[in-house]
Amino acid sequence: MNVEINGADMKNSFVYFIELLGIKHTKKYASKVYNEHPFKNSLYAFSNLLHDYGVNNATVQLLEEDKDIRKLDAPVVVSLGFDIAIVSKIEPELITYTTLNNIKAKSLPEQFNEHWDGIALLAETGSKSGEPHYAKHKLSDLFYISQKFLLLFFIVALFLFTVWHKELYLNAGIMTILAFNLIGVFVSCLLIYKHYRIKSNYADKLCSLIQKGNCNEVLDSDAAKLFGLVGWSEVGLGYFTSNSIILIFFPDLLPLFALINICALPYSVWSVWFQKFKANTWCTMCLIVQGLFWLIFCATCYFGYLNHIKDIFST
């Protein structure tokens, strides 16, 4: 089968399927009921939940001599041996589908039929199809989203007020280094999105900048976690965030900040070495993060903050 891996979207399979069916739903609730189902990742779970959503469905099995995916209408859930796939598009010469492991693929019908065991879950929507208590769930989602935006607004407002009140905007050194760190916060967030397969067009576009790169392969490796517990993307987010806080609220600690940045430089060298010689692929966003380490280092050198490191040990 001609498989094309695409990690752009890790919404769970049930959410993806009801989206294809055009059923009104909220991602939060639909994801919750699917993840909590005792037989998740099975045709039974799909059938059971579709029934709750008012969708008529039935599981069929075509005989070997009649087994041809082109006899069915998309979208349809099919069994591929020990895996399940959602077929989103059926064309005379091409079948487009997505597995539960978020592998999006295209295959010739003949190749697809060889791997398909003939079992399929057919679904038909009706006038009463939809999520139970949809309005209530939608209102809850809007309230949750508004809370996040309000929190983000207050954080940004606090940062801007502090920059204005302390007249930090007059300090070219601080503002330059702050800009690099804020970019680091943004890219680290995208790395976390990518690691947990959360939909992000920005992450997808950045990862595709290097044709032979594969962000997922690097992020899924054992070396992508500190002591096998915490992902380096989370560490990076904490690093750039704490740097930004120091620069805005505690600018007197800039020499300490410069020292910490120097300590981070060996990691950047190791990361590039690992991607080149161990992973044999590139993570574009990881490379951007490593580049930011060196840009921050160059900025601290250019604006003379390294000259004050000795003051840390003399006080």
* Residue 5 included in any domain: no
pLDDT tens by residue, 244-284 = 888 888 887 887 788 888 888 998 898 888 888 887 788 88
Domain count across the chain: 2
| 134-159 pLDDT per residue, tens | 889 888 888 878 877 887 788 788 88
Q: Please indicate, yes or no, whether residues 180 and 247 belong to a single structural domain of this protein.
A: yes
Give the CATH number, domain containing residue 37: 3.90.70.10
Answer for the pair 210, 281: CB distance below 8 angstroms, yes or no.
no
- Whether residue 161 lies inside any domain: the answer is no
Please state, as a whole number, how many other Cβ atoms lie within 10 Å of the Cβ of residue 91. Answer: 11
Cβ-based burial of 293 (10 A; exposed 0-12, middle 13-18, buried ≥19): buried
Q: Is residue 67 domain-resident?
A: yes
Question: Do 171 and 119 fall within a single domain?
Answer: no
Q: Would you say residue 4 lies in a domain? A: no
Indicate whether 107 and 212 sit together in one domain: no
Cα distance between residue 89 and residue 73, in whole Å: 8
The residue range of the domain holding 46 is 13-124
96, 124, 152 — which closes off a domain? 124
Q: What CATH number does the domain containing 239 carry?
A: 1.20.1440.130
89 shares its domain with 218: no
Domain boundary pick from 91, 108, 124: 124
Q: Per-residue pLDDT tens for 214-239?
A: 677 777 676 666 655 667 788 888 88
**Residue 137 within any structural domain of the chain:** no
Indicate whether 82 belongs to any domain.
yes
Q: pTM higher than 0.75, yes or no?
A: no
Please indicate, yes or no, if residue 217 is contained in any of the structural domains. Answer: yes
Examine residue 75 and say whether the peptide bond preceding it is cis (omega within 30 degrees of 0). yes
Please tell me whether residues 188 and 80 are part of one structural domain: no
Whether residue 10 is predicted with pLDDT greater than 70 in this model: the reply is: no
* pLDDT of 36 over the 50 cut: yes
Do 170 and 310 lie in one domain? The reply is: yes
Q: What's residue 125's pLDDT? A: 93
Please report the beta strands in the chain, taking only residues with DSSP state E, as ranges in sequence order: 56-61, 76-80, 83-90, 95-99, 104-107, 119-124, 225-226, 230-231
**Measured between alpha carbons, how far is residue 114 from residues 71, 103, 125, 277, 295 in Å?**
15, 18, 29, 37, 53
302 and 228 assigned to the same domain: yes
Based on the fold, state whether residues 88 and 176 are members of the same structural domain.
no
Whether residue 184 sits in one domain with residue 68: no
Residue 268 belongs to a domain: yes
